[in-house]
Amino acid sequence: MSLKTRIADLIEAQGPMSVAQFMTISLLDPKEGYYATRDPLGSGGDFITAPEVSQMFGEMIGLWLVQAWSDQGCPKNPRLVELGPGRGTMMADILRTAAVAPEFLADLDVVLIEASPALQQVQADKLRGQNGILGADISWQAQFGGSLGDRPLFLIANEFFDALPVRQYVKTKRGWCERLVTASQGELKFALAPVPAPITTIPADREKAPDGGVYETSPAATALAENIAGIITAKGGAALILDYGYVEASGFSETLQAVSGHRFADTLDEPGEDDVSAHVDFVALAQAGRRGGANVSGPVTQGLFLANIGIAERAEQLMKANPDKSRDLLTATERLIGNDQMGTLFKALAFVPPAISDVAGFPP
Ligand code: SAH
C-alpha cells in the first residue's frame, strides 16, 4: 500500500491532519518516508546542498567551530553535534579541518542526529573511511535528546530546520483557521478547519494580513532552538544554523514546498517520493535562542557570513595549489555566496553563551 493510501486511510479513520503531521509522515515514515528510503543528495538525487557543492563550505565551518571553542578558553570535553548530516560530507570536512586544533579533537564527543537509518549508514561509511585522524567517538541518535545537555555543545545544522514540520493558519472572516489535510477517495486535499484557532497563537504583526493570508510556524523548530540555546547558556559552546529562509515574512503567502528531481512538485501528490520543506523563519529562531538565554548573532546572509570568515581567501589558496581546478573553485565560490545563487536566500544564525560578544562572521 502506498504512503499516500496509508495517509488517506488514517485521515478517514481519525479526521483531517495538520500540515505538520503530513510533513512528518511524508519525510520520516519508517517504511516509506522520503528520508527513510533514500539518499536524496546522491547522484541523480532531488537536490544539492552547500557541503556537496564544495569542500570549502565544511572547511570554513570547521574553522569557525575551532575559533568559537578557542574564544571560550578551549573548554575540556566538548561535544560536536550535527543535526541532519545528510551524506556526512560536511562532518568529514569539519573533522579534517579541525585537525589544526588537536586539543579540540582529543576528547571530542561527536554525535550525529539522523532520523533515517539509510542515511546513518551512508554517514558511517563516509566517516569511518576517513577518520584515522579522529580519536573522537562518533555516535548516532534519531533525535536531539535530553542526554546532550551535560557538556559544552558545539552544534551545526545545514538545511535541517527546513525539514521540521510547520503548521499553517489562514486568515478568514471567521478568524485564523488552521490549514489541514483531508482525504476523499484516496486523494489528498487541503481544507480549512471550520473553527478558528485560539487567537493567542498568532503574532500581532500578522493581524494586518488580508483574507487568505497565511501564517506559518514551526513549534518543533523553535522548541529545539530554545533547548539548544539553553544548553549553550548553561555549559558553553556555540550553535550555527544555516538554511534557506526569511528574516521578514515577505507578504503573507505560504512557503511549504515539494521538490522532486530538482523541480517543484505538488505537495500532496506523492508523499514519500518528494522532499517536503518550508522556508525557515529566522526571526522566530533568533527569539527562541534568546528565550534559551543565549547571545544571538545574525541572522545574516550566507554570502556575508562566508565572505566574513574568509571563503574567498580559501578559494584563492586552493587555486594556487591546484591551478587546473581554478574554474571549478570559482564556480563553487560563486554558487555559495553569489546573490542570485545561495548567497542571499540562505541565512546564518549563531548562538553563543551570554558572556561572549564577538562571533566570527557576524557584524558586532
Ligand atoms: N545537512 C545535510 C543534509 C540536509 S537534508 C547537507 O547539508 O547536505 C536533511 C537531513 O536531515 C537529512 O539527513 C535528513 O534525513 C535529516 N532529517 C530530516 N528531518 C529530521 C528529523 N526530524 N530528525 C532527524 N533528522 C532529520
Q: Is 246 within a domain?
A: yes
**pLDDT score, position 206:** 81
Instruction: Write out the residue range of the structural domain in which residue 272 sits.
Output: 3-164+214-352
Q: Is 159 within a domain?
A: yes
Closest approach atom of ligand 1 to CA 50 = 7
Residue with the nearest Cα to atom 14 of ligand 1? Answer: 84
Peptide bond into 299 cis (omega under 30): yes
- The helix or strand, by DSSP H or E, that contains position 130, with its residue range, turns out to be helix 117-130
Q: Is 180 within a domain?
A: no
Q: Is 230 within a domain?
A: yes
**160 CA distance to ligand 1 centroid (A)?**
5
pLDDT digits (tens, 9 = 90+) for 50-76: 999 999 999 999 999 999 999 999 999
pLDDT at 193 over 90: yes
Q: Enter the C-alpha cell of residue 328.
A: 571549478
**pLDDT score, position 117:** 92
For the chain, how many helices (H) and strands (E)? 12, 16
| Count: domains in the chain | 1
Q: Is 178 within a domain?
A: no
Q: Is 193 within a domain?
A: no
Residue with the nearest Cα to atom 11 of ligand 1? Answer: 84
Report the candidate in 78, 55, 139 with the shortest Cα–Cα distance to residue 315: 55
Q: Is 66 within a domain?
A: yes
pLDDT digits (tens, 9 = 90+) for 169-183: 999 999 999 999 999
Please enumerate in sequence order all residues whose Cβ is within 8 A of that of 355, keeping only pairs 6 or more positions apart, or say none: 295
Q: What is the rounded end-to-end Cα distance, in angstroms, of the chain?
A: 55
Which comes out higher in pLDDT, residue 129 or 261?
261
pLDDT at 129 over 80: no
E-strand spans in the chain? 17-18, 79-83, 109-113, 137-141, 153-158, 167-172, 175-184, 187-192, 214-217, 237-246, 257-260, 263-265, 275-277, 280-281, 295-301, 346-352
Closest approach atom of ligand 1 to CA 82 = 1
Residue with the nearest Cα to atom 5 of ligand 1? Answer: 86
pTM above 0.75, yes or no: yes
Please enumerate in sequence order all residues whose Cβ is within 8 A of that of 233, keeping only pairs 6 or more positions apart, or say none: 292, 293, 294, 353, 354
Residue with the nearest Cα to atom 3 of ligand 1? Answer: 86
pLDDT digits (tens, 9 = 90+) for 196-225: 987 667 787 787 889 999 999 999 999 999
How buried is residue 296: exposed, middle or buried, by Cβ count under 10 Å (0-12/13-18/19+)? Answer: buried
Q: Is 173 within a domain?
A: no
Q: Cell 573553485 belongs to which residue?
A: 329
Q: Write the CATH number for 53.
A: 3.40.50.12710
**334 CA distance to ligand 1 centroid (A)?**
25
Average pLDDT taken over every residue of the chain: 93
Please enumerate in sequence order all residues whose Cβ is within 8 A of that of 70, keeping only pairs 6 or more positions apart, or say none: 101, 104
**321 CA distance to ligand 1 centroid (A)?**
33
Ligand 1 pocket test: pick from 160, 241, 342 the residue with the most ligand atoms within 8 Å of its Cβ: 160
**159 CA distance to ligand 1 centroid (A)?**
7
